[in-house]
Amino acid sequence: MAGGAKVAMVAVLIAMVANVSHTTESAVTCQLVVSSLTPCASYLIKGGSVPKSCCNGVQSLYKDAETTSDRQTACRCLEQAATLVPGINVDNAVNLPAKCDVSIPYKISPVFNCST
């Protein structure tokens, strides 16, 4: 997996997951993650303006990833998907949360561990 693609996908993940825990079953699947973020692919690679459908997906996934299990599932899905999306610009991924009005309480990092 290319380092830049992994960083970008992790950045998108971090942008979408809440840092709160609830006691519900996991609602996040890889299919949900991919469908939520597919509209972001063009922005993540080329930059420019972020499509509204991308921000809708980012915000929706952020809300859906309520539990630790949800966040870990989303993270693992993004790690796997990163191999399928070459050419992602890390800076675009880092800026995506703010562009979609999603505030995250931690720093985006290329060494993010999905199990934490």
Q: What is the pTM of this model?
A: 0.72
**What is the number of H-type helices and E-type strands within the chain?**
6, 0
CA nearest to 34, candidates 92, 95, 76: 76
- Residue 20 confidence (pLDDT): 34
115 falls within a domain: no
The answer as to whether 108 is a domain residue is no
| pLDDT of the residue at 85 | 75
Looking at residue 24, its pLDDT comes to 44
Q: What is the mean pLDDT of each run of 10 residues along the chain (116 residues)?
A: 54 46 63 91 94 95 88 82 78 87 68 75
CATH at 29: 1.10.110.10
The pLDDT assigned to 4 comes to: 54
111 falls within a domain: no
Q: How buried is 60 (Cβ within 10 angstroms: 0-12 exposed, 13-18 middle, 19+ buried)?
A: middle
| Structural domain range at position 16 | 3-99
Nearest to 92 by CA among 34, 17, 9: 9
Q: Is residue 109 part of a domain?
A: no
End-to-end CA distance of the chain: 20
Looking at residue 97, its pLDDT comes to 86
Q: Structurally, how many domains does the chain consist of? A: 1
Q: Is residue 107 part of a domain?
A: no
Residue 25 domain-assigned (yes or no): yes
- The pLDDT score that the predictor gives to residue 23 is 39
What is the rounded distance in angstroms from the CA atom of residue 40 to the CA atom of residue 116? 25
